[in-house]
Amino acid sequence: MIETGSVETVYRSCPICEASCGLQLEVDRSSKKVLTIRGDQADPRSSGYICPKSQAMKAVYEDPDRIRHPLRRTENGFEEISWEEALDEVGKRLKDIREAHGPNAVGSYIGNPTGHNFGAMLYTAFFMQALGSYRAFNGGSVDQFPKNVSCSLLYGDPWLFPIPDIDRTDFLIILGANPLVSQGSLLSAPNAKARLRAHRDKGGKLITIDPRRTETAAVSDEHLFIKPGSDAFLLFAFVHVLFEEKLVAPGRLETFVDGIETVQELAQPFAPEQVAQATGISAEAIRNLVREFAAAERSVLYGRFGTCTQEFGTLTSWLVDVVNILTGNFDRPGGLMFPRAATGQTEPVAEPNPDMVYGENRSAVREVPVIDGQMPVAVMAEEIDSAGEDRLRGFITVAGNPILSTPNGARLGKAFEQLDFMVSIDIYLNETTRYADIILPTTTHLEHSNYDFLFSTTSVRNMARFSPQVFEPDPEARHHWLLLLEVAARMNGIPWETLDDMMLAGMLATFLGKPDTAGENVSPEQAREKLSDERGPERLLDLMLRAGPGGDGFDDSAEGLSLEKLSAVPHAVDLGPLEPRLPELLRTVNRRINLAPALIIEDVPRLRTACERFGSQKGLVLVGRRQLQNMNSWLHNLEPLAKGKSRCTLLIHPHDAERAGLPASGGLVCIRSRTGELQVQAEVSDEMMPGVVSLPHGYGHGVKGTKLSVASALQPGVNTNLLADELLIDELSGTSVLCGIPVEVSAE
């Protein structure tokens, strides 16, 4: 903190997206005002870079629509109630449901901002255990869940993600991601544009494969259109050519990778000539791509959102890693690599994890498997409206807006109305929380500290970053982590402090004693003595840092990290480039990678039979797109980000527009799917692949009963997830198809 008069300079990371850029804030603590937010030039990760959403922290804090007191729904709208009343009622109602109908009658949905708040993250994991319900939903099954499943199968842990080392590669393929706008996902790398430019300036090649000629495609050497959902065909053909042309060269990986021959057999039917029609990419283009990729010194294939939320999401996510492994571009500089978190969650374990828990429990209606404790959002509505006596009766949403972010929001809204009780832990009265009986608001980022906990496991360079609290919270405000504890405690009739003690004991057991970390020879008692008595996430963070790979081992005089030392550094701490970590890091039995797991093998026939269908596809399909000023659904109420012309438009290729009877200037269209129908402004553009239309998600704010005055006035838009069909899923993982939804478009 640097003080001049009453204005102080504070440094924090931006909590909005994964890039986690360094910010420099000018603040006046006496009046609790943020004067300016700028890029922190001295931040080693972002070097001053920011995007327009960097202003969000201030705007959210100041937003008069933001909820500051607990609310209860009444016949005449929501009324403010006291914390005691609110928490008592939440605890009692959920407890009653659980006692009468069992733990699985209470479900939950955890949304994206949880991942950007370390206190929320740590305590959510514990909260889910305390709930003990297998109806545990979260944003993952409309996002990266197929990657989790693939990582679980290959590396023994759903959260061990290999990250593309984009700064050190020579040849980069970006498949189904648009980092120029999204700023990277499972790739925490501020200023993607500058990095990709630097990659090309030093002679590196960049190829983007996407059904839209995106902002990222515009800075690439080459862009290939691909039919939505057909990536698994392309990648199997890639593998086919690697074998056919003897380009398979896993190198050092061969000593701990099994199943390569099986992969060869699986790829056999997918010659480029066989898949050209299905993918929309010529056999020649596929062969050239493979040859160039294999010939480059260091190559990396990076797949993200578009490769996950599709009919073959898990096969595709698996194939992305297979391609990198077969060509030796894995666990080495310039390929896919595993970051090392200072907090110790990505350290080798003494004992391998048991296998992925797949399908021990199944949903009541469609019987989709619960995987590693998660049920996919595609079945959320039916578990409420069609499961009879076994139905979901109580529901908790935490920092999520599933009405706008999960498929068939209309059905979900009706289902929410049938619940016996719903509570939302959220800071806005929005399209989802309006269904809640009680809303519990939390403090926002300026009022609590933060640590880039999740994104230190996805960063292109190892890093540690603590962000201090800027303002004291209002006396009425409650932290997110505390609310989770309070709710769980009241459901169990015990003080929240007891739960917090249990949480600390669990963390001590988990994070001490790991080989090659500073906590290897420290006992829980020794560690506990050094930790603060103040409850909450900071002492848990201190524990993880001090016990972690670069920690001080709870020795105050030793070198190494502790929360105190990290707090003294105003910027991110760079902990060096990613380094090879295999096979030690693997959490599989014998620390080996089985490249051809049974679940994957069993899913390949489903792909084979779909090849002809993709090849003869005639109608239009819908995909999404992200925009720089949005973050999913929740920043549209901030004027600086919402102003300007309406952004929720349907992009359509000129040929398709003509077929739909539209003028070249676009105009209003009607777009229909099995589940819904929307009227929306069309924009005719050849940046779309013919046969594919694009609509951004997170809009649809013009509904009654919300308190989003700016969003409703400036950017109401339409909810594209009324068109997303809850019956369309990647069968292996249960993830919803958001890329490639069959639609019809006609002029209004």
Ligand X SMILES: Nc1nc2c(c(=O)[nH]1)N[C@H]1C(S)=C(S)[C@@H](COP(=O)(O)OP(=O)(O)OC[C@H]3O[C@@H](n4cnc5c(=O)[nH]c(N)nc54)[C@H](O)[C@@H]3O)O[C@H]1N2
**List of residues contacting ligand SF4 (CB under 6 A):** 14, 16-17, 19-21, 50-51, 53-54, 183, 190
10, 17, 370, 547: which one binds ligand X (CB under 6 A):
17
Single out the segment in contact with ligand X by CB under 6 A; choices: 92-100, 595-603, 672-680, 736-744. 736-744
Residues 681-710 that bind ligand X (CB under 6 A): 697-698
61, 428, 466, 471: which one binds ligand X (CB under 6 A):
428
Backbone angles phi, psi at 118, to 5 degrees: -65, -35
- Cβ distance to ligand SF4 smaller for residue 13 or 316: 13
**Kind of pairing, strands 438-440 and 71-74?**
antiparallel
CB of 203 to ligand SF4, least distance (A): 27
If binding is defined by CB under 6 A, does position 139 make contact with ligand X? Answer: yes
40, 65, 143, 730: which one binds Mo ion (CB under 5 A):
143
**448 Cβ contact list (under 8 Å, min separation 6):** 117, 119, 469, 473, 479, 480
CB of 525 to ligand X, least distance (A): 35
Q: For residues 691 and 492, give the distance between their C-alpha atoms in angstroms, rounded to a whole number.
A: 54
Q: Which does 207 bind (CB under 5 to 8 A by kind): Mo ion, ligand X, ligand SF4, none?
A: none
Q: Which does 693 bind (CB under 5 to 8 A by kind): Mo ion, ligand SF4, ligand X, none?
A: none
CB of 469 to ligand X, least distance (A): 13
If binding is defined by CB under 6 A, does position 211 make contact with ligand X? Answer: yes
- Cβ distance to ligand SF4 smaller for residue 182 or 406: 182
- With tokens 């997170």, the residue in question is 698
Q: Which does 54 bind (CB under 5 to 8 A by kind): ligand SF4, Mo ion, ligand X, none?
A: ligand SF4
3-state class of 243 per DSSP?
helix
Q: Which residues of 547-568 are buried (b: 16+ CB within 10 A; e: fewer)?
A: bbbbbbbbeeeeebbbbebbee
Q: Before 339, cis peptide (omega within 30)?
A: no
If binding is defined by CB under 6 A, does position 400 make contact with ligand X? Answer: yes
Q: Which two tokens stand for residue 160?
A: 């061990």
Residues 611-640 that bind ligand X (CB under 6 A): 623-628, 630-634
Single out the segment in contact with Mo ion by CB under 5 A; choices: 135-143, 461-469, 488-496, 544-552. 135-143
Q: For residues 67 and 670, give the distance between their C-alpha atoms in angstroms, rounded to a whole number.
A: 35
CB of 401 to ligand X, least distance (A): 4
DSSP string, 349-371: PSSPPPPP-EEEEE-SSS-PEEE
Eight-class DSSP state of 141: G
- Cβ distance to ligand SF4 smaller for residue 185 or 346: 185
In the bound state, the residue with its beta carbon closest to Mo ion is 143
Q: Edge to edge, what strands does the sheet with 299-303 contain? A: 222-224, 205-209, 171-175, 299-303
Contact pattern from residue 302 through residue 321 relative to ligand X, giving x for each residue in contact according to CB under 6 A and a dash for the rest: --xxxx--x-----------
Number of chain residues interacting with Mo ion (CB under 5 A): 1
Q: Which two tokens stand for residue 41?
A: 């030039």
Q: Which residues of 80-108 are buried (b: 16+ CB within 10 A; e: fewer)?
A: ebeeeebbebbbebbbebbeebebbbbbb
**190 Cβ contact list (under 8 Å, min separation 6):** 19, 20, 21, 22, 45, 46, 47, 49, 183
Q: Which amino acid is at 611?
A: C
Residues of this chain that bind ligand X (CB under 6 A): 17, 111-113, 117, 139, 142-143, 175-179, 181-183, 185, 209-212, 214, 226, 228-229, 231, 304-307, 310, 399-402, 405, 425-428, 430, 442, 444, 480, 623-628, 630-634, 697-698, 720-721, 724, 738-740
Residues engaged in binding Mo ion (CB under 5 A):
143
